[in-house]
Amino acid sequence: MVGGVNSPVRSFKAVGGHPRFASRAKGSRVWDVDGKEYIDYLGSWGPLILGHAAPQVVAAIRETAKRGTSYGAPTELEIRFARLIQEAFPSMELIRLVNSGTEAAMSALRLARGFTGRDFIVKFEGCYHGHADSVLTKAGSGPLTLGVPNSAGVPAATATQTLTIPFNDVGALEALMKARGQEIAAVIVEPVAGNCGVIPPEPDFLPALRQLTTRSGALLLLDEVITGFRVAHGGAQALYGIQPDITCLGKIIGGGLPMGVYGGRRDIMTQVAPLGSVYQAGTLSGNPITVAAGVATLETLKGRDWYNQLENLGAQLEGELSNAAEETGIPATVNRVGSMFCCFFTEGPVRDLASAQRSDTKRYAQYFHAMLEQGINLSPSQFEAGFISTAHTQDDIARTGLAARTALKSLPVSRPKGRRKKTR
Ligand code: PMP
């Protein structure tokens, strides 16, 4: 296997050493093949909001598999699933199930181009929308961590049709839309940037996106692959009150199995085959096992207000990490939205890719290894989000805080203790 991993972000290239091989997981814990136990904040990179091996999800997979794993024909289960999505995301009037976040974003962009008859798209520096050609420009996540934000192998003609500007920069967007608004099919954005650490939108950012796209006839495409069912039941669009034209979902909606969804305004979505002329298909799309895991997850999330609990755990962890940094004199900025968090090793504020990149990644690598040794599993990159699940407890968070103090105390202090700013 290339680099020993089947997705580049799993490698320890950025922090040194070799990844721990996972053998099993339950709730907030994961165990490696040597039997060492970790409190897990990867959550399989976001999907596992109910924790590992949630009993209702495992039972749904088991029961469904007995009746067949895939039919290549529609099922009632897909209707139940679609209703659960639409209840939470009313802007998704018609939807299409796919197999990953990459597919959702790639298909949504093709649709935006087909619908508007325009070729250009706008994305924000440090945002990641999967690995399709047109979004591997100034991309976050693995491309950023591994130093290939503009991937080789993307045709120059494709890359030039993707225009990039800084996240949270309303002025840059205004200027771009004024100059080229009539050529732009879609503006795609992670409403909370989650692939260069965690960066919340400033209050005027998403409203400006909505206004400027509407004015130029471009579509607003919210990539809620991370934020959907994560920052609120109805995602960032509910949290910030923003109405997109198209939404992409992934991660949580598959309950830990491969799944993506794109959907939006009826007049746009009816352009997708078989109703319209924008082609997109999938042999295993909407397969019953994945959909059953998704239904079990979404029904559980609908059952009560988990988001209050996740907010409280998130606030506790933010406090623990901030205090640990303060006490040890290590410059750090903790950014957090609900149960997504990131501790940047810089004074901050961190509000875009440039400020995220001021973070001391060598220090992050030392911190990461010191935490891992103490049984705390974080992402092996400064430029990723950590995730809390409903299976995490206050005790887990307190233990993580203690580990962070020990980890930070073991790091060399290179600068005098300064005032740390927090951003939200
Ligand atoms: N969009 C966003 C915002 C993501 O975070 C990711 C993956 N981390 C993707 C799209 C791509 O999803 P997948 O890895 O399922 O293809």
pLDDT tens-digit readout, 37-62:
999 999 999 999 999 999 999 999 99
Distance 10 CA to ligand 1 centre (A): 14
Stated length of the chain:
424
CA of 104, closest atom in ligand 1: 10
Phi, psi of 163 (to 5 degrees): -100, 135
Q: In terms of Cα–Cα distance, which of 249, 251, 255 is closest to 289?
A: 255
Residue nearest to atom 1 of ligand 1 (CA): 129
101 CA distance to ligand 1 middle (Å): 4
The pLDDT tens digits of the residues spanning 337-362 come to 999 999 999 999 999 999 999 999 99
Location of structure tokens 């706008």: 122
Nearest CA to ligand 1 atom 14: 101
Q: What is the pLDDT of residue 123?
A: 98
DSSP 3-state of 41: coil
Q: Is the CB of 256 under 6 A from ligand 1?
A: no
What's the token pair of residue 310? Answer: 């996740």
Does 129 sit in the ligand 1 pocket, CB within 6 Å? yes
Active site residue 128: yes
Residue among 15, 61, 62, 221 nearest 134 (CA): 221
250 lines ligand 1 (CB under 6 A): yes
Tell which one of 98, 134, 225 to mutate to probe ligand 1, the residue whose CB is within 8 A of the most ligand atoms: 225
Does the Cβ of 201 fall within 6 Å of ligand 1? Answer: no
| Whole-prediction pTM | 0.96
Residue 418 has a pLDDT of 47
User: What is the number of the ligand 1 atom nearest to the C-alpha of 190?
Assistant: 3
Please give the average per-residue pLDDT across 211-239, as a whole number.
Answer: 98
195 lines ligand 1 (CB under 6 A): yes
In tens, the pLDDT along 164-202 reads: 999 999 999 999 999 999 999 999 999 999 999 999 999
Q: What confidence score (pLDDT) does residue 415 get?
A: 54
CB 220 within 8 A of CB 257: no
Average pLDDT over residues 73-101: 98
- Cα of 248 from ligand 1 centre, angstroms: 10
Report the atom number in ligand 1 closest to the C-alpha of 251: 15
Rounded distance, CA 397 to CA 212, Å? Answer: 41
Reply yes or no on whether 223 is catalytic: yes
- The domains of the chain, with CATH numbers, are 2-53+305-409 (3.90.1150.10), 55-303 (3.40.640.10)
Contact (Cβ atoms closer than 8 angstroms) between residue 188 and residue 122: yes
Q: Hey, whose CA ends up nearest to atom 13 of ligand 1?
A: 101
pLDDT digits (tens, 9 = 90+) for 11-39: 999 999 999 999 999 999 999 999 999 99
Q: How many Cβ atoms are within 10 Å of 83's Cβ, its own excluded? A: 12
Of the given ranges (57-66, 248-257, 414-423), which has the lowest mean pLDDT? 414-423
> End-to-end alpha-carbon separation of the chain, Å?
39
Asked if residue 190 has its Cβ within 6 Å of ligand 1, the reply is yes
Query: Average pLDDT in the 379-408 region?
Result: 98
| Mean pLDDT estimate for the chain | 96
* Band of residue 303 on the pLDDT scale cut at 50, 70, 90: confident
Could you tell me which of 7, 5, 12 has the C-alpha nearest to residue 372? 12
What's the rounded mean pLDDT across residues 405-419? 75
Residue 325 CB contacts under 8 Å (≥ 6 apart), including other chains? 331, 332, 334, 343, 408, 420
At 130 the pLDDT is 98
The catalytically annotated residue of 128, 262, 364, 367 is 128
100 in contact with ligand 1, CB cutoff 6 A: yes
- Alpha-carbon span 357 to 343, nearest angstrom: 13
- Using a 6 Å cutoff on CB, does residue 144 contact ligand 1? no
> Would you place residue 414 in the very low, low, confident or very high pLDDT band (cuts 50, 70, 90)?
low
421 pLDDT more than 90: no
Banded model confidence at residue 107, pLDDT cuts 50, 70, 90:
very high
For ligand 1, mutation pick of 195, 196, 387 (most atoms within 8 Å of CB):
195
State the closest ligand 1 atom to the C-alpha of 105, by its place in the atom list counted from 1: 10
- Residues 259-263, mean pLDDT to the nearest whole number: 98
Is residue 412 very low, low, confident or very high in pLDDT (cuts 50, 70, 90)? confident
Q: Is the CB of 105 under 6 A from ligand 1?
A: yes
Region 407-423: mean pLDDT is: 66
The pLDDT of residue 88 is above 60: yes
Lowest mean pLDDT among 104-108, 145-149, 256-260: 145-149
Contact 355, 311 (CB under 8 A): no
The stretch 67-78 carries a mean pLDDT of 97
The pLDDT of residue 416 is above 60: no
Quick one: what percent of the chain has pLDDT higher than 70?
Answer: 97
Ligand 1 center to 284 CA (angstroms): 19
325: Cβ below 6 Å to ligand 1? Answer: no
